[in-house]
Structure 1
């Protein structure tokens, strides 16, 4: 191993795991020696002074959330019904739900900003607090070649690396400890990446400034391998960071995903070489490799050993842009969970997996069927739609990875009143909630559920009612399901954002679909599930407030849809938390909100 590492020209020789911490004998005056070796600027202890506190900061945040998750699971009912518990939980939920909408974009929640602000204060304090920023070197006296501000930011960026990688993994120990699903941790993956990038820039430019002043920048670049590895790592890091900006990532998702892992590999290799085993720097790469490998192996073992190669996906084109995918399986999952599917028949897409929210409910010990209703947007989903149109009821081999995220098992059963909201392709999520309610209605005869679905698709009525018929058939239901109502709001007849001539086509398509529905879906289905149709967008804040307008009630809200829908529901949910904290008359005892990103 040492001989192989010795062949790498960018590494000092001989290659070791840790470099020597012995500074040697100081030949300067006692005052200068003390200045050079003071606590915050001693180069030979920089990893201990800056890397370890950074690790401690991240671990503290994880422990706090893990403790809250643990306590919420073991707290007795008597404590949970107490006023102090209710107000404390409502305050934390207010921080989690409160957000703003700016120029058509949803901001992160207030709680995310506060935690991010704590991180900002920590990194600013550790970067700008200690002095000096630069060594007062002269031609006669040299305290060191690495500016203190560059040293400290470099080691803080290094210590952030394991957390950056773990936060981006689908199966990771942070999710296991805190109960926060991986897709909700992704915002921290992005924010830690930005923190690392800014720290890397602050680490880089002081070296440039020092060597420009000395007049040897070009010579240092030509003779210093550490500069080459650092610049390559920084370029790869800049690509990874800027390409992950949401509007770029979402618009060019296939390209983003295809390049992200390659550039991440380039970054890791050159960052590793750049650190050149200084002090304990390589320990952080070892920790990153071990933890990420375990996360990756866990995911792969579930795919290949638990789920195997046996699954086939059936494809049905239910409308011109909605694809139904069904997979027979023996696996089990919770309502609202999503799973990553890798279709082995889509060319280059066979090497990538994509998340889809499961629209059906599993039954323990029985043969189950995964169902997905997918809105085709081109790329892999467009390819699948083409297969379904060419060959109705086509079957393609598929690999499963999951399930992940979703609503904790039995969580909705904890609430007396449930509001389920779906928009666009997110309507598929509501089906799993409806099915769970039908499945468990005999256990909670007083509970009620209201489902709100908003769609621009004129054909949605057909496939949604057909899915309800399938639910009734699976659970042998032939009578009205009490305390269940489903309101379908068809927005394709609205004037907003309509191009000339488009509306007539949509209304004509809607009329044809309704004709088909009247033949295919009996009146019994709409009566059985309490289905009502409306024209125009639903007033989601008013509906949310109405559900919570019952003193002492416990309310669960689930939403999956476009960002504007998420914002409206989150705003209403945060307003209800304020009422609960103030103990206003007529307010609910609690209101819990779950937002689902995939559809």
Structure 2
């Protein structure tokens, strides 16, 4: 009889554990994950509404912008603090803390404080829901292992579809929040590592509480569980930055294969909980299906009798730099990126790499496009892996056609139409992001669809020869700028030696002339022409030697500005860090905003964490 109360308490504890396994998992989804996504979606809606209302106030007559500036001149800031600007100052302080402060997370990587807050908040929420309400009734024991060891597996399994969605190029989260997939990848990795932690809490907890005799390890469900945990652990280990950097293709293949294996093992391990697992396959299949349909639509010409794949044109435009031009029947938002697959260059048929589209789909002078197909231009620096092979291909075979498959376009670049001043700062190949934004802004200004009054384009390059990457496009944009826009282009050559390397283009067909003195003469003529081109571009673009003083340049633009300012940056990590530090100082701080200084929005093109 004395054992009846204890048995009743044990039964009650078991029922309570089963109930909490399900309820805490649901609560975590709705209280933490779903609510946070809803908040970001709400912020996105507010931004869209404000942007639409500001666009509605843009005068159709460009000359009205000049008159508006004259009326605003007497209202320049006088140094007195205005309480009505407290909201703008508060937003500025938040932007500085969240998006301009960074913390080191490794020898060559830093992370935005906004990412740190999101990741720590997510991890804290998961652990709170996992470890609380774990009091054993008989005998009384707080934080009882039996309560949270099974719950950890439930919560981990429920996060799988979220983590898979965060990795997809086409996902609902990006659509709702306006945060591009490459920026969500930071949270994807954190979520994946959290799953591994929870699974090991589950596994160790089961060992601690006892799993019976070793016959359990001979059962199919137990074997599946062990393989699943091992596969997830390998996924986490192979996802570490050094491995991703050195062997990306290996990481990519193993990442997908091991994740699929782990999800399948989870279904075998606990068939009654398969509703946690199969949505992961559905989310992955949805992303891949959309990408496949887009690939077929963009890259195939069904009416052709021969080769139905559309080709691209590849050329070597400077030492180590390739320009790839693809003509496709799509339009894109300037600043977006696309994934390229080059079967003759890629190691695997599905190997795709992201590159920013350095062109815009419409003429910069505001005229109508003459065709439904537009030139997608990619400027690729030959570094290692895929880009190195592409450079070798262009170097060995010369300028010519190559089979190219494009998947895109992706990303949510900023809409700059409502800013009165826009500053573009690029380093090296980062100009592929700032150039299309710059060209599109000039086009919108010509069409009377932008309130911009001042545009500054700053580009830092190592060699003067690099101006040939975008020189012609840049000059076309400068020539197209309307009279009411104050435009300034500054190109800095960071190497002291202003030397060019001639002879960079190759004929599609080999010359029938044998290699003799006449061939050398042709090469010399090509060298002279390339040198002349560089000299012409360098003179027209006012190229100067030295490194840009980012802080001083920004101060020079912000202090006299009257309206909202947008600063757009892409390039090496030190350049982005210098801009962040400058805009976190008194140049664009909350105190200055209180005194009447303009608010500054910073947009930096990065993939994942910030470089050191």
**TM, length-normalised to structure 1:** 0.80
The alpha carbon displacement at 1:592 in A equals 1.2
Tell me the CA shift for residue 268 of structure 1: 1.7
Is 1:455–2:461 an aligned residue pair?
yes
What is the aligned counterpart of 1:52 among 13, 16, 26? Answer: 26
- Which of residues 52, 61, 65 in structure 1 aligns to 2:36? 61
- Aligned counterparts, 1:213-232, within 5 A: 216=213, 218-221=214-217, 223-232=218-227
1:476 to 1:422, Cα distance in 2 relative to 1, 3 A:
closer
Q: Which residue of 2 aligns with 1:100?
A: 102
CA separation of 1:275/1:572 partners in 2, compared to 1, >3 Å: closer, same or farther?
farther
List aligned pairs for 1:73-222, cutoff 5 A. Answer: 73-75=48-50, 76-77=53-54, 83=85, 86-87=88-89, 89-100=91-102, 102=104, 104-132=107-135, 147-211=146-210, 216=213, 218-221=214-217
CA distance in 2, matches of 1:374, 1:570: 26
Q: Deviations over 1:427-447 (max 9, x none)?
A: 222321332233234235862
Distance 2:388 2:430 in 1: 18
* 1:549 CA displacement: 1.9
Q: Distance in 2 between matches of 1:312 and 1:150?
A: 55
The answer to whether 1:465 aligns with 2:471 is yes
In structure 2, the partner of 1:18 is none
Asked if the contact 1:454–1:491 (Cα under 8 Å) also holds between the matched residues in 2, the reply is: yes
Q: 1:82, CA displacement in angstroms?
A: 7.2
Say which structure, 1 or 2, has more relative contact order (CA 8 Å, 6+ apart): 2
User: 1:558 Cα shift?
Assistant: 1.2
8 Å contact from structure 1 (residues 487, 534) kept in 2: no
> Does the 8 A contact of 1:338 with 1:405 survive in 2?
yes
SS at match of 1:407: coil
Q: C-alpha distance in 2, partners of 1:391/1:510?
A: 19
CA contact (8 A) 1:135 1:147 kept: no
SS of equivalent residue, structure 1 residue 583: helix
Q: How far does residue 95 in structure 1 lie from its aligned partner after superposition? A: 3.9
Question: 1:407 matched to which residue of 2?
Answer: 413
Corresponding residue number in structure 2 for 1:422: 426
Superposition pairs for residues 322-337 of structure 1, below 5 Å?
322-337=321-336
> Displacement of 1:182 after TM fit?
0.5
1:318-357 pair list within 5 angstroms:
318-346=317-345, 348-357=347-356
Count of aligned positions = 537
Note if 1:283 corresponds to 2:275.
yes
After TM superposition, give the deviation of residue 418 of structure 1 in Å.
Answer: 1.0
Match of 1:382 in 2: 388
Unaligned runs of 5+ in 1: 1-26, 138-144, 494-505
Partner of 1:7: none
Q: What's the offset of the Cα at 1:90?
A: 2.7
1:532 equivalent in alignment to 2:547: no
Q: Is the 8 A contact 1:343 1:349 kept in 2?
A: no
Assess if the C-alpha contact under 8 Å between 2:22 and 2:154 holds in 1: no
**Does 2:600 align with 1:591?**
yes
Write the deviation string for residues 408-443 of structure 1: whole angstroms up to 9, x where unpaired.
Answer: 4xx112111111121222122232133223323423
Which of 305, 313, 317 is matched with 2:297 structurally?
305
Q: How far did 1:597 drift? A: 2.3
CA distance in 2 between partners of 1:170 and 1:349 (Å): 19
Following the alignment from structure 1 to structure 2, what is the Cα–Cα distance between the partners of residues 135 and 168? 44
SS at match of 1:459: helix
When residues 70 and 267 of structure 1 are mapped into structure 2, their CA distance, relative to the original with a 3 A threshold, is same
Cα displacement (A) at 1:326: 0.5
Match of 1:256? 251
Please name the residue that 1:492 is paired with: 495
Match of 2:524 in 1: none
The separation in 1 between residues aligned to 2:454 and 2:576, in whole angstroms, is 22
- Distance (whole Å) between structure 2 residues aligned to residue 153 and residue 476 of structure 1: 62
User: CA–CA distance in 2 between the matches of 1:340 and 1:135?
Assistant: 58
The residue matched to 1:372 in structure 2 has which SS? strand
Q: Deviations over 1:171-211 (max 9, x none)?
A: 10001111111011101101101111111111111122233
- Shift of residue 288 of structure 1? 2.5
1:293 Cα deviation after fit: 2.3
Distance in 1 (CA, whole Å) between partners of 2:378 and 2:607 is: 11
TM-score by length of 2: 0.79
Tell me, yes or no, if structure 1 residue 29 matches structure 2 residue 4. Answer: yes
In the other structure, the counterpart of 1:372 is 378
Match runs of 1:388-399 below 5 Å: 388-399=394-405
Cα RMSD after superposing both structures: 3.5
**Which sections of structure 2, spanning at least 5 residues, go unmatched?**
58-82, 302-308, 363-367, 505-526
CA contact (8 A) 2:559 2:597 kept: yes
Report the Cα distance in structure 1 between the residues aligned to 2:184 and 2:21, rounded to whole angstroms. Answer: 27
